[in-house]
Amino acid sequence: MNALQRNDFYLLLLLYLYSINHTFGATDSTITATQFLKDGDKIASHSGSYEMGFFSPSVSENRYVGIWYKNISVRTVVWVANREAPLTGASGILKVIEPGILVLVNGTNSVMWSTNTSRSVQNPVAQLLDSGNLVVKQAGDDNLGNFLWQSFDHPSDTLLPGMKLGWNFVTGREVYLSSWKNEEDPAPGDYTYHCDPSGYPQNIVKKGSDVVYCSGPWNGLHFSGAISSRDSPLYTFGIFSSKTEVYFEFNLTSSVITRLTLSQNGALQRWTWGDHAQDWIPYLSIPTDNCDVYKLCGAYGSCNSQNSPVCGCLDKFVPKHNEDWQKADWSSGCVRRIELNCLQGDIFLKYSHMKLPDTRNSWSNVTMTLEECKTICSRNCSCMAYSNIDIRNGGSGCLLWFKDLLDIRQLSKEGQDIYIRIAACESDSLEKSDGKKRKVLFWILPLSVGLILVILSMLIFHRRRKKALQLKRKGRSGRNGNYKMDHSGNCEEEFEIPMFDLSTIMKATNNFSIDRKIGEGGFGPVYKGILEGREIAVKRLSRTSKQGEGEFKNEVLYVARLQHRNLVKILGCCSDGEEKMLIYEYLPNGSLDSFIFDDTQSKALDWPKRFHIINGIARGLMYLHQDSQLRIIHRDLKANNILLDKDMNPKISDFGLAKICEEDDIGAMTNRVVGTYGYLSPEYALHGKYSVKSDVFSFGILVLEIVSGKSNRKFSHPDHNLNLLGHAWKLYIQGRSIELLDECLGDSCSTSEVVRSISVGLLCVQQCPEDRLSMSSAVLMLNNEGVLPLAKQPGFYIEGNAPGGDFTPSQSAQITVSDTPITILAAR
């Protein structure tokens, strides 16, 4: 303010020195340092197009300094100096003072308004140029770049030809229009009009901080969505963008006088002066229709003013909230009919004649081709759509959208092509929908498939009933043994399971002799036996089970239907009073933990074998989670539960805690936390909340254990108190993942496979279930070279923040849960 006080002093001095009333002539366009403009005086631009002086808007008595058209019979103010500081009387004086500022003072010499500059010149003057631009400059210096100040940088509600609406990145200054409060008050009102460079440049109207209109991106000829702002014989317009500035401007190409204004209601209006009518004629006005209301139809909604109601969802999209949508509240928008699955490869569908979406979350490159554009977009899972930037000459440039697509409208002829990411499986319906032949196929195919399915299911149902009756009969007769084991191994019998009576099993296991015992799990001991010449493993469930015989058989039947080469095969069961047993294939190599955590045995598993095992477990788990008809959550995945066959193929065993679940049960709560310390996900251990993602967590730990040869539970490190997860994470963020590798593996390994496995492992043990991979993604990532997402910090990575003994480890069995049926089958 020091400068201003000093300026006040200068001003008083000058007023004193030049107290002679100076009158301005009709052709004066300049106020020099020896003159001042008082209320009633005017200056005009050189050619007489604009005039500046004092005025009162409408019926207001306040006085303002403004610029208006000189040669137009209707007083039309295009710029106001003291918008927010009206003069109350006719005593205002406008004056140029050193070092180069223009000030407006009232009758008692209070500064009402002033320009501002960081520079100073010897002989400052203010001049009204023929463009309507009021500039402060050194007298005689007409170089644009040397202006100390210009009114074009501080517009009111009017955009004049040659004015740049937008950003100067060097000075960090934005030039934007702001509406008048009302006809009598030129102070800034609710609305502003901007050229927004935050994504690919577009023009927006805001009410306060809310966007109310968005032009869509500039496509080389016009704005994508501004159907009314076509090429005009009267003016050219465009957005220009460089490293230092981004701006919108228009130039006149005829002698017709035209201006663009932002009304107090937020309407953008272009006016032309009608010599004949002697009045302003509206040339165009935005909003044109309801569809110009910003994001009226919400994300992925498409507005079509020809329709009633105007909002619809884009093809392949459905309303997010049907109820709201039906009540004509479209703000919640639409979602994909089929969710994206980026890792399995989405596709892009072309939508034509569209106003392109809001580009504030976009990325662009003006030289890329559409093909390059597609490649980039498909590589980044958060890229939702792409299009050309410039529609001239067949199209060029690349525009990518991230986040949801907003403010799309369907136009009838004009508009542009945009390619939107949709799920790959939508492609079937796409292909079939073009071409008449395909349309026929489209109907015939499902019909014939349907027919075959009906016939098949009838056959199966028939056979099932027969089998069920057989099973019942056998149960009664007690002669289950004559159901041949060899048969059960055949695929034909895959959904059925033989029942054995207790005496047969007792014989096979030598009366459960202690020397036949090969393990002891949470649910009872496991014995090796020989049945009909074949080695079997018998899991004898603990007697505390309260499960009834019927339920038990039922659930065994379910599990028997799970057939996968990475799951231990169930051969039969036995239920006799309190005795309940499961008969499994016998796997000679025992369990994974006896290899990887053992100094000598671990040498038997080189890296290719370990990688094979990791993959096998992943596939088996994926099958349980998604591919089987049942959706099973294992809930106790750990190294002891991975068995190895003679070729070291991994087989997941012990579905003792598996919950057979319908889709809706995912994410269910349980009061009883069961599982094994060291493998439990945080949300399960702490809140009893489990989902397939709890298994994914356990899988991640298993992967890290297999790679490192160290047990998460027993892990300790001399340098820190992190557990195996924390240790792996620490190495990972330092780019030293490979150091996690079990020393004994030496040269057997492929570094890229090891590092990839560790990354996948870490992506599986993320704190938030949503951040963890699905098993299908894990399988995909393990086997593909693509770039992996970055893992965040894992859950339970410090030894101390894992719960100690507050939950039930598998050592103390939880056999029944009456309200939530849990399939209790196996124990080691």
Ligand X SMILES: *[C@@H]1O[C@H](CO)[C@@H](O)[C@H](O)[C@H]1NC(C)=O
Which residues are tagged catalytic? 636
The one segment of 10-18, 123-131, 249-257, 734-742 that binds ligand X by CB under 6 A? 249-257
**CA 416, chain centre distance (Å):** 24
List the Cα angle 504/507/511 in 5-degree steps. Answer: 120
**Binding positions for ligand X, 625-654, rule CB under 6 A:** none
DSSP H or E segment with residue 457: helix 436-477
Minimum CB distance to ligand X, residue 356 (Å): 18
Q: Name the residue type at position 20.
A: I
List the Cα angle 647/648/653 in 5-degree steps. Answer: 120
Minimum CB distance to ligand X, residue 224 (Å): 17
Site for ligand X (CB under 6 A): which residue of 27, 34, 71, 265?
71
Task: Between 34 and 109, name the residue whose CB sits nearer to ligand X.
Answer: 109
Site for ligand X (CB under 6 A): which residue of 61, 84, 142, 275?
275
Minimum CB distance to ligand X, residue 380 (Å): 4
Nearest partner of 647 among 528, 766, 565, judged by Cα: 565
Instruction: Say whether residue 2 binds ligand X (CB under 6 A).
Output: no
CB atoms within 10 A of CB 231: 10
Instruction: Say whether residue 512 binds ligand X (CB under 6 A).
Output: no
Instruction: Say whether residue 784 binds ligand X (CB under 6 A).
Output: no
Instruction: Say whether residue 390 binds ligand X (CB under 6 A).
Output: no
DSSP conformation letters of 589-638: T-BTHHHHTSTTGGGGS-HHHHHHHHHHHHHHHHIIIIISSS-EE-S---
Instruction: Say whether residue 258 binds ligand X (CB under 6 A).
Output: no
**Binding positions for ligand X, 90-149, rule CB under 6 A:** 91, 106-108, 110, 116, 118
Cα dihedral sign, 434-436-440-443? positive
Length of the chain (residues): 828
Minimum CB distance to ligand X, residue 398 (Å): 7
- Report the alpha-carbon distance of residue 332 to residue 163 in Å, rounded: 38
Instruction: Say whether residue 482 binds ligand X (CB under 6 A).
Output: no
Instruction: Say whether residue 352 binds ligand X (CB under 6 A).
Output: no
Minimum CB distance to ligand X, residue 16 (Å): 18
Instruction: Say whether residue 429 binds ligand X (CB under 6 A).
Output: no
Task: Between 46 and 432, name the residue whose CB sits nearer to ligand X.
Answer: 46
Minimum CB distance to ligand X, residue 358 (Å): 15
The one segment of 360-368, 516-524, 600-608, 733-741 that binds ligand X by CB under 6 A? 360-368
Site for ligand X (CB under 6 A): which residue of 249, 346, 555, 654?
249
**Binding positions for ligand X, 681-710, rule CB under 6 A:** none
Site for ligand X (CB under 6 A): which residue of 27, 34, 89, 487?
89
Task: Between 294 and 363, name the residue whose CB sits nearer to ligand X.
Answer: 363
Total residues contacting ligand X by CB under 6 A comes to: 28
DSSP H or E segment with residue 474: helix 436-477
Minimum CB distance to ligand X, residue 249 (Å): 6
CB 595 within 8 A of CB 579: no
Site for ligand X (CB under 6 A): which residue of 150, 365, 378, 816?
365
Task: Between 131 and 793, name the residue whose CB sits nearer to ligand X.
Answer: 131
Instruction: Say whether residue 251 binds ligand X (CB under 6 A).
Output: yes
Minimum CB distance to ligand X, residue 172 (Å): 9
Q: Tokens standing for 190?
A: 């609710």
Task: Between 21 and 118, name the residue whose CB sits nearer to ligand X.
Answer: 118
The count of C-alpha atoms lying within 13 angstroms of the C-alpha of 65, restricted to the half-sphere facing its C-beta, is 28
- Report the alpha-carbon distance of residue 7 to residue 5 in Å, rounded: 5
Instruction: Say whether residue 332 binds ligand X (CB under 6 A).
Output: no
Main-chain phi, psi angles of 690, to 5 degrees: -125, 155
Main-chain phi, psi angles of 724, to 5 degrees: -60, -40
Task: Write the CA distances from 617 to 31, 32, 605, 652, 807, integer angstroms.
Answer: 85, 87, 15, 7, 26
Instruction: Say whether residue 367 binds ligand X (CB under 6 A).
Output: yes
Does 287 sit behind a cis peptide bond, omega within 30 degrees of 0 on the bond before it? yes
Instruction: Say whether residue 402 binds ligand X (CB under 6 A).
Output: yes
Rg (CA), the chain: 39
Minimum CB distance to ligand X, residue 417 (Å): 19
**Binding positions for ligand X, 205-244, rule CB under 6 A:** 236-238
Query: In three state form, how does the secondary structure of 372-431 look?
Result: HHHHHHHHCCCEEEEECCECHHHCECEEEEECCCCCEEECCCCCEEEEEEECCCHHHHHH
Q: Distance between the two ends of the chain, CA-based, in angstroms?
A: 84
Instruction: Say whether residue 457 binds ligand X (CB under 6 A).
Output: no
Task: Between 375 and 626, name the residue whose CB sits nearer to ligand X.
Answer: 375
**488-497 long-range contacts, CB within 8 A, separation 24+:** 488/571, 488/572, 489/569, 489/571, 494/560, 494/561, 494/563, 495/464, 495/557, 495/560, 495/561, 496/467, 496/471, 496/557, 496/560, 497/556, 497/557, 497/560, 497/570, 497/571, 497/572, 497/573
- Report the alpha-carbon distance of residue 156 to residue 103 in Å, rounded: 18
Instruction: Say whether residue 76 binds ligand X (CB under 6 A).
Output: no
Task: Between 105 and 267, name the residue whose CB sits nearer to ligand X.
Answer: 105
Instruction: Say whether residue 372 binds ligand X (CB under 6 A).
Output: yes
Task: Between 171 and 470, name the residue whose CB sits nearer to ligand X.
Answer: 171
CB atoms within 10 A of CB 121: 17
Site string for ligand X, 8-47 (x = CB under 6 A): ---------------------------------------x
DSSP 728: H
Task: Between 115 and 670, name the residue whose CB sits nearer to ligand X.
Answer: 115
Task: Between 91 and 305, name the residue whose CB sits nearer to ligand X.
Answer: 91
CB 235 within 8 A of CB 241: no
Residues at the site binding ligand X, with contacts judged by CB under 6 A: 47-49, 71, 88-89, 91, 106-108, 110, 116, 118, 236-238, 249-251, 275, 363, 365, 367-368, 372, 380, 382, 402
